[in-house]
Amino acid sequence: MTIHPSSIFQDVEKIRKNAPLVHNITNYVVMNTTANALLAIGASPVMAHALPEVEDMAAIAGALVINIGTLSDAWIEAMFKAAKIAKSRQIPIVLDPVGAGATPYRTRTARELIRAAAPSIIRGNGSEIMALCEEGRTTKGVDSTSASDQAIDAAKALSRDLDCVVCVTGAIDYIVSQKAMVQIKNGHAMMPRVTGLGCTATALCGAFAAVNPAYDKAAAHAMAVMGIAGEMAAEHAPGPGTLQVNLIDSLYRLTEADITERLKM
């Protein structure tokens, strides 16, 4: 699989034109940031988790994003219900297994969601992707204790077993599908110091997958856009507070030239 700046930007233009509805069942910490990132790139985000409405919302969405960052039992039930509808409608489902490996509850929930929802794309950091595959692997909280390249084998196994795209993000992002593996080297060292940028990358996968049925490309395009916007944001950011704000601006202003000049594969 090769990734062209022009095809990345075609997806961006489709998102801006169609404003796909991205239904997020996500964590409290990042809701504001991910909603703003989706709006900035041109999508229409909605956050909805109540059992009486998740199915109706999934029924009108262009993509479903499930993120277990602050999960609890009622929310998990909503995730399963929404995923069932999304699956029946064949819209993309994107899963972010936040903190898998940190507690048995998260690891178990992430695995059960994967089995039931058959997500189109899974995006996590190295620790999380490894925790989805390996019994007994544990990690610390929600920050990765492993580099992304340590998780490549796990990502390949997951992708093969589930027939889905797996993104392992870190200093290098790996987008693994049955067919190929793409590396994207954009991004900035300060990005892990902003909460929820992994979750934001996941949310962007939802927007891209809503307009591009080749989910491996959609995921790679989303990771490229996230990394490039992060780089642009960091150039004028004295710290992670400003980076978070600038990132939203960069997503909003992103041009084809930005992508062409900056894409590092």
Using alpha carbons only, give the angle 241, 5, 159 rounded to the nearest 5 degrees. 80
Angstrom distance (rounded) from CA 251 to CA 249: 6
Neighbours of 110 (CB within 10 A): 25
Nearer to a second copy, 21 or 129 (CB): 21
When asked if residue 248 is in the footprint of a second copy (CB under 8 A), the reply is yes
Answer for which of 3, 8, 15, 31 binds a second copy (CB under 8 A) is 31
- Using the contact rule CB under 8 A, the part of the chain among 115-123, 135-143, 170-178, 210-218 near a second copy is 135-143
When asked if residue 45 is in the footprint of a second copy (CB under 8 A), the reply is yes
SS3 percent helix, strand, coil of the chain, rounded to 5, is 55, 15, 30
* Best CA proximity match to 171, nearest among 155, 141, 150: 150
When asked if residue 91 is in the footprint of a second copy (CB under 8 A), the reply is no
Answer for which of 205, 222, 237, 259 binds a second copy (CB under 8 A) is 237
CB proximity list for 62: less than 8 A, separation 6 or greater: 18, 20, 21, 22, 91, 210, 211
When asked if residue 77 is in the footprint of a second copy (CB under 8 A), the reply is no
Answer for which of 3, 40, 85, 117 binds a second copy (CB under 8 A) is 40
Token readout for 143 is: 């920050």
Instruction: Say how many residues touch a second copy, by CB under 8 A.
Output: 67
When asked if residue 48 is in the footprint of a second copy (CB under 8 A), the reply is yes
Token readout for 124 is: 């996590």
Token readout for 199 is: 């979750």
Answer for which of 10, 103, 150, 183 binds a second copy (CB under 8 A) is 103
Binding site for a second copy (CB under 8 A): 19, 21, 23, 27-33, 35-36, 39-40, 44-53, 56-57, 60-61, 69-74, 99, 102-106, 138, 140-143, 190, 192-196, 237-242, 244-253
